[in-house]
Amino acid sequence: MKLSFLTALLLLLLHHGTLGQQVTNNAPLKFNQSNFSNLKLGQSIYSYQEITFTNTTDQKLFLDNINIDNSNYKILDVRLASNNRVKDTLYSQEKYRAFIKWSTWDKSGPFDDTLHITFRFKNHADIEQNIYLKGYVTETPKIEFETLKLDADTIPEGGPYIFEFKFKNIGTQEVFIKNVRSSCGCLIPTWPKKPILPGETGIIEGKYLTKGRRAYFYKSMTIESNA
C-alpha cells in the first residue's frame, strides 16, 4: 500500500505520541462527593475533610503524587477504605479515602474555596478533580504559651522546686482554665480560677517535691480549658 508523505508523517507523529505511555485508555476516579457545603468549623491549627473515591477501571494504577493548586491545603496519604492502610497502588474497583488538611487558626467568617487536585500516576496520564469547600469558621477561645517545655537541669534535693508556664489570651473571647492534671502526685499544679480576658496573660505554676528523689525525672501537666 502506497502512502503519501503527509500521511506517513502523520502516522509517525501519532506513533511518537504514544511512546512511553504504558496505559492508553482513560482511568477515571469516581468521587463519592466533591462539593462540601455548610461546613461549620472552629479556629483550629488543623481542620480535615475526608474525600472518598473508587478506581473504576479494570487495572491497577500506580500513584506517584497528589498536588493541590492552593498551598494552604495539603492532602494526606491515600488509604484503602476497608482497612485504612496507606496505599500507592489503586486496585480496580476498590474504594479509597484521603483527608484534605488545612489551618483555620487565623480565619473567621465564611469561606468558599475551590481546590484543583491533580493525581499523578506512574502508568497513566494525570487525573484532575475539583473539590469545593464552603462553610463558616467561628471564632473560638485561643491561648498561646511562651514555652511548653522546661529543662530544669540539676536542682538540689530537699525543698520544693517551683516553676511556671506563662500564657496569653490571643483570641477575642474569655479563656477559662478548667483543670490542670499532673502525671505524678509529687507535682502540684496551680492555675488561675478567674477567666483570662482577651489580651491578658496568665500563669500556670508547678511545684515539684524533690525530697527523697535523687534521679533524672520527666513530669508533665495536662491542661483542660475552653480554648
In this prediction the pTM is 0.68
Rounded Cα distance, 198 and 152, in Å: 31
The reply to whether 66 and 85 lie within a common domain is: yes
What is the predicted pLDDT for the residue at 187?
A: 94
The answer to whether residues 116 and 68 touch, using CB atoms and an 8 Å cutoff, is yes
Nearest to 139 by CA among 93, 181, 116, 105: 105
Sequence-separated (6 or more) residues with CB below 8 Å from residue 88: 62, 63, 64, 78
Rounded Cα distance, 44 and 107, in Å: 9
Tell me the pLDDT tens digit for each residue of 164-218: 999 999 999 999 999 999 999 999 999 999 999 999 999 999 999 998 888 888 8
The reply to whether 91 and 170 lie within a common domain is: no
SS3 state at 116:
strand
Residue numbers of the domain that contains 185: 143-225
The answer to whether residues 101 and 46 touch, using CB atoms and an 8 Å cutoff, is yes
The answer to whether residues 141 and 173 touch, using CB atoms and an 8 Å cutoff, is yes
107 pLDDT band, cuts 50/70/90, is: very high
What is the predicted pLDDT for the residue at 156?
A: 87
Domain count, the chain: 2
Tell me the pLDDT tens digit for each residue of 140-151: 999 999 999 999
The answer to whether residues 48 and 101 touch, using CB atoms and an 8 Å cutoff, is yes
The reply to whether 75 and 174 lie within a common domain is: no
The reply to whether 221 and 196 lie within a common domain is: yes
DSSP code of residue 69: S
Could you please report the per-residue DSSP string of 117-146? EEEEESSS--EEEEEEEEEEEE----EEES
The reply to whether 172 and 112 lie within a common domain is: no
The reply to whether 132 and 172 lie within a common domain is: no
CATH number of the domain encompassing residue 36: 2.60.40.10
Higher-confidence residue of 13 and 186: namely: 186
The reply to whether 159 and 92 lie within a common domain is: no
The reply to whether 132 and 30 lie within a common domain is: yes
The reply to whether 122 and 215 lie within a common domain is: no
